[in-house]
Structure 1
Amino acid sequence: MNQEPRVFKYYDLIMAAFVCVLLCSNLIGAAKAAQLTLPVLGTVTFGADLFFFPISYIFGDILTEVYGYGRDRRVVWAGFGALVFSAFMAFVVVHLPPAQNDFMAAYQGHVEAVFGNTWRIVAGSMIAFACGSFANSFVLAKMKIATQGRFLWARVVGSTVVGQAVDTSFFFLIAFSGIWPNEQLFAVIVTQYLFKTIWEAVMYPATAWVVHFLKRAEGVDHYDRGTNFNPFKIRV
C-alpha cells in the first residue's frame, strides 16, 4: 500500500515567499550597482539586492533544517520555473512594438534598459543559485547529521559561507561580465559575499526562532539519512 504524502501547514507559504523574494531580488535589485560611504570602510560598491537576496538563503536553511533537502530542492526548482517565465515575459514585452506616441517612444527605451539584460540575469541566477543553493543545502544537511542536530548556528553560518561564495561569484560573472568594468565587478563580488554572509549571521536569531516554531507546529525535524542528493531529482 502506497503511503500518502504528508501535508504540512506552512510549507506552501514558505515556497511562495521564497519565489517572491527570488524574483524581486533578481529582477528589481540585481542590475543596479549602488554606492554608500560608510565610516571606516569608505565608499562601498554593492548590488542593490544586497539586503533582500540573502532572505532566499534563509528560507533555504529553514526548509532544509525542518523539512529536509528533498523538499528544499522542490522549492528551488519552483523558483527556477518562475525565473524562466519572467525571462520569457520580459523578452516578449521588450520586443512588442510600442504604440506610436511620444510617451511610448521614450518609455520603450526605459523598458529595454531595465529588462533588456534579463536573459543574462536569469541565466546567471539559475546557474549560480543552482550551484549555490544546493551546496548550501547539502552542507547544512550533512552538518546536521554530523552534529546530531546540535549547533544550529554553526550549520546555518557554515552552509552560508559555502553557498554564498559559489552563488555570488557565479551570478555576477555570468550576468555582468563585459557590462560592468572589471574593477567594479570584482569589488561588488567581494562586497556582496562579505555582506550577505554577515547579514545571514545577524539574522540567525530570527532564523532559529522560525526553525523552532516550524518544528513544533509541523511536528517534524528531518534528518537526511539515506537522501538522494541529486539536484535534478524532483521527487522528495
Structure 2
Amino acid sequence: MTSPCAPSSRASSYLTLLVAFHVFIIIASNYLVQLPIDLFGFHSTWGAFSFPFIFLATDLTVRLIGKHQARRVIARAMVPALIASYVVSVLFNDGLFSGLDALGHFDTFVFRIALASFMAYVLGQLLDVQVFDRIRRSTVVWWAAPAASAVLGQALDTLVFFWVAFWHSSNPFMAAHWGEIALVDYAIKLLVSLLLFVPLYGIMLNAITRFMQSQRAAQVPAT
C-alpha cells in the first residue's frame, strides 16, 4: 500500500481537527466508562467501544504527517481533555445530569477518573506512536503497524487508566472489580481494534491515498 504524505500547507488544519477529535473522544470515553455493562458474565464499560477511535486517528496521523506531528496532537490535546473530562464527568456522574451546582463541589472520584484518563492517554498514545512508526518503517505489510501498536498501546493505556482511577477507589464496586473490568475492557478494545479499526485504517488510508493522488493530478498543468 502506498504511503501518502499530506501537504505541509495543510498540516496545521489537520492538527487542529485531530486535536478536537482527540478531546471529543476522551470526553466521551470518560463519560461512558462510568456506565458498566455485562458481557457474557464479565464486567466492562461502554468506554471500551469508544476509545479505540483515538488509536485509529493517531495511526493515520503518523502515516500521513509523521510521528513528530502526532506527538504535537497529543501535547495539545492532553490538558484541554483533562479539564473538559472533569467538567463533563461531574455534570453527568453515573450517566445522569447532576446540575450545574455540582461544579461547585470538588469530586475526588471523578477527578481520579479524569487524571487517570490524562495519564493513560499520554503514555498509551506516545507508545502507540513509537511502535507504529518503527514497525511501519521495517515492514511493507500495511496491517502490521496498526495491529502491533493497538496491542501494546492499548495494554498500557488500559492498565494505567484503571489502576490510577479505581485502585482503592471510594466506589466499592469499582475498587473490588477494577482488575477484572480492566482485563475485559482490554479484550474488548483489542477485538474492536483488530476486527474493525485495523481494516478501517486500511480502507481510510487507501481512500486518502487515492484522494491525494487525484488532487496532485488535478494540479498538474495540461501540456
Residues 14, 120 of structure 1: alpha-carbon distance in 2 compared, 3 angstrom cutoff: same
Instruction: From the two aligned structures, give the one with the greater helix fraction.
Output: 2
Tell me the distance in 2 between the aligned counterparts of 1:87 and 1:195: 22
- 1:158 and 2:145 equivalent? no
Contact 2:52/2:189, CA 8 A, preserved across alignment = yes
Q: 1:54 aligns with which of 37, 47, 52?
A: 52
- How far the C-alpha of 1:152 sits from its partner, in A, is 1.6
- 5+ residue gaps, structure 1, are 37-41, 95-105, 220-236
Q: Partner amino acid for 1:156? A: P
Matching residue of 1:30: 33
| Mapped pair 1:200 → 2:193 | yes
Q: Which 4+ stretches in 1 moved above 6 angstroms?
A: 90-94, 108-113
What is aligned with 1:120? 112
Distance 1:108 1:177, change over 3 A: farther
1:172 aligns to 2:175 (yes or no): no
Provide the C-alpha distance between the structure 2 equivalents of 1:92 and 1:34, rounded to a whole number of angstroms: 20
Match of 2:126 among 124, 134, 139: 134
- How many Å apart are 1:33 and its aligned residue? 2.4
> Following the alignment from structure 2 to structure 1, what is the Cα–Cα distance between the partners of residues 134 and 176?
36
Match of residue 66, structure 2, among 65, 68, 72:
68
Q: CA deviation at 1:84?
A: 3.1
How far apart, in 1, do the equivalents of 2:136 and 2:191 lie? Answer: 21
Identity within the alignment, %: 21
Instruction: State the match for 2:95 in structure 1.
Output: none
Structure 2 unaligned residues grouped into runs of 5+:
1-6, 93-97, 214-223
Normalised by the length of structure 2, the TM-score is: 0.75
State the one-letter code of the partner of 1:15.
V
Q: TM-score, normalised by structure 1?
A: 0.72
Mark the CA change 1:47 to 1:111 in structure 2 (over 3 Å): closer, same or farther.
Answer: farther
Structure 1 letter corresponding to 2:194: A
- 1:86 deviates by 1.8
State the aligned residue count: 196
- Residue pair 2:60, 2:201 contacting (<8 A) in 1 also: yes
Counterpart of 1:152 in 2: which secondary structure?
coil
Q: Tell me the distance in 2 between the aligned counterparts of 1:18 and 1:157.
A: 20
Q: 3-state DSSP class of the match of 1:145?
A: helix
120-129 vs 159-168, which deviates more? 120-129
